Copies of this chain bind each other. A is one copy, B any other.
Amino acid sequence: MNRNTHKPILLQNVRIHDRFWSRRIKLIAEEVIPYQWEALNDTIDGAEPSHAIENFRIAAGEIRGDFYGMVFQDSDVAKWMEAASYSLVTYPSSKLEAIMDEVVELIGKAQQEDGYLNTYFIAANPGERWTDLSFGHELYCAGHLIEAAVAYNSATGKRKFLDIMCRYVDYIDSVMGPEEGKRKIYCGHEEIELALVRLYKATGEEQYLRLSQYFVDERGKQPCFLQNEPTFGNIYKDKWFDLAYHQAHMPVREQTTAEGHSVRAMYLYSAMADLARETGDDSFLAALDKLWDNTTTRKMYITGGLGSQGHAERFTVDYDLPNDRAYTETCAAIGLIFWAQRMLLLNPDRRYADVLERSLYNGALSGISMDGKRYFYVNPLEVIPEVAMNRYDCEHVKTERQEWFGCACCPPNIARLVASLGQYIYSQQESAIYTHLYISSNAQFDIDGKTVMIKQSSNYPWDGTISISLTVAEKQKFTLALRVPGWCRQYQLAVNGEKMDFLTIEDGYAVLSREWIDNDEITLTLAMPVEIVHAHPRVRENIGKVAIQRGPLIYCLEEADNGKGLAEVMLETNAGLAAKFDEDLFDGTVVITGNAKWYGGGIGEKHLYQFGEYPAKHKAIKAIPYYLWGNRQPGNEMLVWVSKAFRPI
């Protein structure tokens, strides 16, 4: 293991008590996890059927029937188990744990004699194991089951699920790998690579780390076996399902641009960072740097969303970021969070945490409704329902969140993210504690064998004042590093009420190395004015437009507040943008008001083209955080990038 890397705080060691997040974490525990359990069991009226639990019953021989659903339907159960495991840590529930124990029993029953475990290939396609690496998702499902087993073991201490998965991985290891006689294959959808690192960490078994390494090292070697599979190219057999779609167009260390299916890419890059950290293999670092740079400075929406094209859920080319046709899958934003955390653990640089925070509060959080029961798979930055519902190239865009999807990767993914949020707040490297996110919480650390407690309190993201108090048994020297977010242009730090005039800033973190005593109080004040954001000039869709941001939150205009015709709003030079906390809007929200010009829907204008400018009038506008859009009446217009008023010509 690389000695300079960080470790994340364990979920068990942090308790969140945050106005913004606690209700969401509770919602996951009390509403979302029970709701998704019902979805997995097909008991929700009107939602697309899942059949995921039924598939396990069929594979286990408990009932007769036909497999139904996507080939990767097992992963929905796995992600739910993972989310439920995290939730158990915060909200112990013997009822939930009993259900989970039953699921583990069921999974165990479905496991084959030789350790194999995949309901699609057991129940629907026996004898076809490992014949469709391109789209069969066998190893992908295994990966999610591994992550679930590790989380379940960590939450409950029970080994059964872990043992099932070790048996399965042992079998996988016997079939594929670098050794002579084994098949040189890997999964068309990355996931098992990062899961195996987690399994290694949970069990200490180095063979799992080696298998992960094999999968990553083998990927992209040419000629590529995937191309010889009849399923390669998907049903479309077009260029969008090429090797780059699977990040298999060249060896991973040679890849410098984010290509192909966005979620697949995020999971691969996460695994590469994991391996760099766990094995000390620095040969990954150059590629990771370039991939990070390309992803976040050429191909990332301002919301932290990824994927500019619906077809093949792909990245396209640099700076191609259309707002109305964005794919920006919730899972891709979550994948970016996974990757960003791993980059932070390799090297705590603010730029990683900035992206993590951007995706978390915007492109990922928009995926779930306020009541936790409806989900966006696609998170576009501009929705005009009439257009979205009447253009072929917007077919992937839904104008309201859906109850469940036939391909339901996103709902349990957002659940597992929120339920495990605690582990993203801090990381530790020996006697240095890094604070990456500002979420009110109590956290416990072991520094040089002594227990240190850190209590964070704030009204973040609505307010930038963060209080941190320390509990130490006796005075103790250690380093506390506090992230100064990239969006913050003015900040102040005080220790025990005394403003610090000279700050050491390292890679965007204010580093406080001193001897701390019990009840030491640190106050970080981050100025949080309304900011106007411009996009790089090569993002042609945003020329002449700006976005509104406050703190980590990207704002949007919604029809519910502003009426229809949002594309016709033009922010004035003196827009007078002002933030105000509205206690009554949802669970309390800072809204932003301002002045704009507006064409007024072009009402009464008959000419489609004319020489004179069309008249515009004044309009008061109101913006809400992007993640909140679509939580009021359905079928709303929404817009992130707003036009600027322009000069007469």
Query: Which residues of A are in contact with B by a Cβ distance under 8 Å?
Result: 240, 296-298, 300, 302, 308-312, 316-317, 319-320, 325, 384, 386-387, 390-393, 489, 531-540, 543-547, 565, 567-568, 570-573, 575, 599-602, 605-614, 616, 643-649
Contacts and interface: CB of A to CB of B under 8 A. Distances in A.
B644 A568 contact: no
A641 to B, nearest CB: 11
A616 B543 CA distance: 12
A308 to B, nearest CB: 8
A537 B532 CA distance: 24
Nearest to A390: B317
B537 A309 contact: no
Contact of A392 (B312, B533, B645): B312
B646 A607 contact: no
A531 B609 CA distance: 12
Contacts of A297: 606-608
Given A392-B309, A538-B601, A646-B646, A533 B317 contact: no
A648 B540 CA distance: 18
Nearest to A389: B317
Nearest to A575: B649
Contact of A537 (B387, B390, B614, B645): B614
Given A320-B391, A393-B309, A568-B540, A649 B573 contact: yes
Given A240-B392, A646-B544, A649-B571, A387 B317 contact: yes
A605 B298 CA distance: 11
Given A392-B240, A649-B573, A534 B320 contact: no
A649 B537 contact: no
Contact of A489 (B319, B390, B573, B611): B611
B540 A393 contact: no
Contacts of A489: 611
8 smallest beta-carbon distances between A and B, as pairs: A537-B599, A540-B567, A393-B393, A311-B392, A537-B602, A646-B646, A644-B646, A544-B544
A603 to B, nearest CB: 9
Nearest to A639: B540
Given A384-B540, A393-B309, A609 B647 contact: no
B610 A533 contact: yes
A544 B300 CA distance: 24
A537 B601 contact: yes
A607 to B, nearest CB: 7
A531 B649 contact: no
B532 A649 contact: yes
A393 B325 contact: yes
